[in-house]
């Protein structure tokens, strides 16, 4: 398949009609006489909303409802359209520039689809993708590390997963998931060793400055090793943690309901009994 094979009659493509309507609405909101709130926005102020809307889309995907996903995906599209509209008013770029840039990138990084290269499995595709990205970075004089390009602003677990993915793609990997699991156990053992001299029987643990730093380092290593294990198991650690948090919240709210809305002043025995009931109900 070549890029020319993708050409179609735009007049029959409902996606283009819908995008055109969205762009017309965004343009109207920014024009004189449009919406005062929309007119005062900047690229920077809209970037914050993009992060928020992206997280809401992820939540909708996790929930699995198509209507919610449609709504949240639409919100993401709207923010992107607004950012590009604002940038075009400043003679910087517009949505066409952004779309053209990503289209060129997709064609360039899929030579097995649009060119003569071959890639028969996802692993080959990933290696080829990273090689092409490295060549692009070299051509632009940018950071050539295999770890370059993973945004520092990503949630920590998601960033850990992407970093591990990049490292594994270079060949820096355990022979099997067993090695990654052993690393988790090793890091837990090191954390336990650091905590040996700490009084853990207190309700509020007090750490000295040196102790706090060592505990933070070892706990961080445990979290990182666990996130890396997810790469070997095909489990997204960010999603796994979100799901676990969802279970915890559901069970905790049930437990609160058992005690009339508050768990304060309840004995640990009563709390654990209610928690066990919640676990049976919300497994």
What is the distance between the alpha carbons of residues 15 and 163, in angstroms, rounded to a whole number? 35
pLDDT, residue 198, reads 87
DSSP for residue 4: G
What is the distance between the alpha carbons of residues 74 and 22, in angstroms, rounded to a whole number? 9
Q: In which band, very low, low, confident or very high, does the pLDDT at 3 lie, cut at 50, 70 and 90?
A: low
Does the pLDDT of residue 207 top 90, yes or no? no
Is the separation of the CB atoms in 161 and 227 below 8 Å?
A: yes
What is the distance between the alpha carbons of residues 177 and 231, in angstroms, rounded to a whole number? 9
What is the distance between the alpha carbons of residues 78 and 83, in angstroms, rounded to a whole number? 9
Query: Which residue in the block uniquely carries the two structure tokens 């919240």?
Result: 249
Tens digits of per-residue pLDDT, 60-116? 998 889 999 999 999 999 999 999 999 999 999 999 999 999 999 999 999 999 999
Does the pLDDT of residue 124 top 90, yes or no? no
What is the distance between the alpha carbons of residues 240 and 158, in angstroms, rounded to a whole number? 10
Query: Which residue in the block uniquely carries the two structure tokens 């945004």?
Result: 151
Task: Please indicate, yes or no, whether the overall pTM of this predicted structure exceeds 0.85.
Answer: no
If we measure between CA atoms, which residue out of 97, 241, 94 comes closest to residue 161? 241
What is the distance between the alpha carbons of residues 276 and 268, in angstroms, rounded to a whole number? 12
Which residues fall within 8 angstroms of residue 274, CB to CB, at 6 or more apart? Answer: 254, 255, 258, 259, 263
What is the distance between the alpha carbons of residues 132 and 9, in angstroms, rounded to a whole number? 32
Tens digits of per-residue pLDDT, 234-267? 999 999 998 999 999 999 999 999 898 888 889 9
pLDDT, residue 23, reads 97
Query: Which residue in the block uniquely carries the two structure tokens 């049976």?
Result: 280
């Amino acid at each position: 398949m070549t890029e020319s094979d993708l050409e179609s009659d735009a007049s029959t493509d409902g996606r283009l009609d819908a995008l055109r309507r969205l762009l017309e609405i965004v343009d109207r909101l920014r024009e004189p006489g449009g919406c005062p709130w929309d007119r005062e926005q900047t690229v920077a102020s809209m970037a914050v909303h993009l992060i928020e809307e992206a997280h809401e889309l992820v939540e909708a995907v996790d929930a699995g409802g198509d209507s919610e996903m449609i709504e949240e995906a639409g919100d993401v599209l709207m923010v992107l359209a607004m950012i590009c509209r604002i940038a075009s008013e400043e003679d910087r770029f517009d949505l066409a520039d952004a779309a053209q840039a990503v289209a060129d990138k997709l064609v360039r990084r899929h030579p097995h689809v649009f060119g003569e290269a071959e890639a028969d499995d996802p692993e080959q595709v990933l290696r080829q993708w990273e090689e092409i990205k490295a060549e692009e970075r070299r051509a632009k004089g940018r950071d050539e590390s295999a770890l370059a390009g993973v945004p520092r602003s990503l949630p920590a677990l998601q960033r850990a997963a992407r970093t591990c993915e990049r490292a594994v793609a270079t060949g820096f990997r355990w022979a099997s998931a067993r090695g990654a699991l052993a690393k988790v156990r090793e890091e837990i053992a090191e954390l336990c060793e650091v905590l040996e001299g700490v009084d853990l029987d207190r309700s509020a643990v007090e750490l000295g400055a040196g102790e706090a730093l060592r505990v933070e380092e070892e706990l961080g290593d445990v979290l990182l090793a666990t996130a890396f294990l997810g790469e070997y198991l095909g489990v997204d650690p960010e999603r796994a943690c979100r799901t676990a948090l969802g279970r915890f919240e559901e069970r905790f709210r049930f437990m609160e309901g058992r005690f009339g809305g508050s768990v304060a002043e309840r004995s640990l025995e009563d709390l654990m009994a209610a928690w066990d009931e919640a676990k049976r109900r919300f497994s």
